[in-house]
Amino acid sequence: METKMPLKCDPIGLSRPNAAAHVGMVISLFDKLVADGRMPRPCKAEGRLIWRRLEIEKAFSELPFHGELIMLTEERKNSFAAVRRRRAERAEADQRVGLK
C-alpha cells in the first residue's frame, strides 16, 4: 500500500528562492539579511541548503516597521549578541563535521 502526501502540505523547510519569496524579498536582499544575521542561516542536508520556515518567520517578525525608531536596550543588545554567538558556534561545529 502506497502512502500518498496530502494535497495541501505546508513545508517546514524552504529552498533559498522559496525562503526569500516566503517573506516577500528578492534573493539578493534575503542573502544580505542572512549574511548580517537578521535572517537565519540554512541547514545543510546532503549538500542542499534548506531554511527552516518557522525560523524565517520569527526573524521576519523581529524586523523593525517602516519608520520605527530602533532603540536597542541593553537586554536586546545582549539578545542579539547571544544569537550571533550561537550562530558562530553552530558554524564552527558545521565546519568541524564537514557540513560547510
Domain boundaries along the sequence of the chain? 11-63, 65-100
Tell me the pLDDT tens digit for each residue of 29-42. 999 999 988 999 99
The three grid cell numbers given for residue 81, joined into one nine-digit string: 549578541
The single residue listed with the C-alpha cell 539578493 is 28
Q: 28 CB contacts (<8 Å, ≥6 apart)?
A: none
Predicted pLDDT of residue 93:
78
Predicted pLDDT of residue 26:
97
**Amino acid in position 45:** A
Q: 64 CB contacts (<8 Å, ≥6 apart)?
A: 70
- pLDDT profile of the chain (100 residues), mean per 10: 64 94 96 92 93 94 73 63 77 72
